[in-house]
């Protein structure tokens, strides 16, 4: 039982080992308040910090958040620039703030598209937190599940061509290890805020048996209590994995 989640809840809760979140709805949140979309991202980024720390506190082992997709480059330059600025600010903060947190940060996605400064910050944060043994925080940035799968195929083809493995020896486990998530377990629970019923190119391979909780709440309004509620919903699901 997770003590922090005990209050007013009838049933024993099952804590998902790996939670993934599609943090959607920043733009609509800003529009509702007659603010520029970029303001929605600022509030969204601040909320992300609160939620990540909360997940670590309640004992979640892996948290994966979708921060920027390979398709999000299509947005107006001003919006993309402000998102890049927020990533930089967050990573700089993480370098000092995370000294006290037992969180290991990993960035999932193609980092080569980012500015040199941002790439360096990512490396610094990953390096500085690599020995933390608490929660693993995966930040999916310039992440697309289809390109992740193509990347995995290329890595395996390379190994076949260099004679390390044979085509017939390729297994699902080997394929999984070529994903950005490498040795991590698949997400048990995927939460999407903003109310859309789609994956938007997120974790296509890893989500084969994930449980979904889709909420109408916009990301900047998402509270720690919504995590508790999602965990309660998850606890009531009957995961069969194709069995009975």
Q: List residues with catalytic annotation.
A: 24, 72
Nearer to ligand IPE, 27 or 187 (CB): 27
Neighbours of 225 (CB within 10 A): 10
Tell me if 37 sits within 8 A of 86, measured CB to CB.
Answer: no
| Residue 24 within binding range of Mg ion, rule CB under 5 A | yes
User: What is the C-alpha to C-alpha distance for residues 129 and 100, in angstroms, rounded to an integer?
Assistant: 11
Least Å distance, CB 36 to ligand IPE, is 11
Tell me if 39 sits within 8 A of 45, measured CB to CB.
Answer: no
Size of the site for Mg ion (CB under 5 A): 1
Least Å distance, CB 43 to ligand IPE, is 11
Tell me if 111 sits within 8 A of 122, measured CB to CB.
Answer: yes
- Of the candidate spans 9-17, 23-31, 118-126, 152-160, the one that interacts with Mg ion by CB under 5 A turns out to be 23-31
Among Mg ion, ligand IPE, none, the one that 144 touches (CB under a kind-dependent 5 to 8 A) is none
Nearer to ligand IPE, 154 or 198 (CB): 198
Q: Which of 191, 234, 221, 187 is nearest to 15 (CA)?
A: 234
Nearer to Mg ion, 24 or 186 (CB): 24
Tell me if 219 sits within 8 A of 24, measured CB to CB.
Answer: yes
- Of the candidate spans 19-27, 38-46, 71-79, 83-91, the one that interacts with Mg ion by CB under 5 A turns out to be 19-27
User: What is the C-alpha to C-alpha distance for residues 52 and 135, in angstroms, rounded to an integer?
Assistant: 9
63 beta partners: 19, 137
Nearer to ligand IPE, 13 or 140 (CB): 140
Tell me if 41 sits within 8 A of 50, measured CB to CB.
Answer: no
User: What is the C-alpha to C-alpha distance for residues 67 and 88, in angstroms, rounded to an integer?
Assistant: 13
Nearer to Mg ion, 24 or 188 (CB): 24
Among Mg ion, ligand IPE, none, the one that 66 touches (CB under a kind-dependent 5 to 8 A) is ligand IPE
Residue in the shown chain whose Cβ atom is closest to ligand IPE: 27
> Restricting to residues 80-119, which ones interact with Mg ion according to CB under 5 A?
none
Q: What end-to-end distance do the CA atoms of the chain give, in Å?
A: 26
Among Mg ion, ligand IPE, none, the one that 69 touches (CB under a kind-dependent 5 to 8 A) is ligand IPE
Dihedral angle, C-alpha 86, 143, 225, 33, nearest 10 °: 50
Least Å distance, CB 32 to Mg ion, is 14
Give residues in contact with ligand IPE (CB under 6 A).
22-28, 66-69, 72, 83, 194, 196, 198, 200
Tell me if 134 sits within 8 A of 102, measured CB to CB.
Answer: yes
Among Mg ion, ligand IPE, none, the one that 109 touches (CB under a kind-dependent 5 to 8 A) is none
Binding site for Mg ion (CB under 5 A): 24
């Amino acid at each position: 039982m997770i003590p922090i989640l005990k209050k007013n809840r009838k049933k024993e809760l099952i804590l998902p080992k790996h939670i993934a979140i599609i943090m959607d709805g920043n733009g609509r949140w800003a529009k509702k308040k007659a603010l520029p979309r970029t303001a929605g991202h600022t509030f969204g980024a601040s909320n992300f910090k609160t939620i990540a720390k909360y997940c670590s506190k309640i004992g979640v082992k892996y948290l994966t958040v979708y921060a920027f997709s390979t398709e999000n480059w299509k947005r107006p330059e001003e919006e993309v620039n402000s998102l890049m600025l927020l990533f930089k600010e967050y990573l700089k903060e993480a370098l000092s703030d995370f000294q006290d947190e037992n969180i290991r940060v990993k960035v999932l996605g193609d980092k080569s598209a980012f500015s040199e400064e941002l790439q360096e910050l990512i490396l610094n944060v990953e390096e500085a937190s690599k020995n933390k043994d608490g929660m693993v925080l995966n930040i999916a940035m310039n992440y697309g599940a289809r390109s992740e799968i193509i990347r995995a195929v290329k890595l395996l083809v390379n190994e076949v061509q260099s004679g390390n493995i044979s085509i017939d020896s390729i297994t699902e486990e080997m394929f999984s290890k070529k994903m950005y998530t490498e040795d991590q377990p698949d997400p048990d629970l995927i939460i999407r805020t903003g109310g859309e019923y789609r994956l938007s190119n997120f974790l296509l391979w890893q989500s084969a048996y994930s449980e979904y909780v889709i909420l109408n709440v916009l990301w900047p309004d998402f509270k720690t209590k919504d995590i508790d509620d999602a965990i309660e919903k998850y606890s009531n699901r009957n995961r069969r994995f194709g069995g009975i």
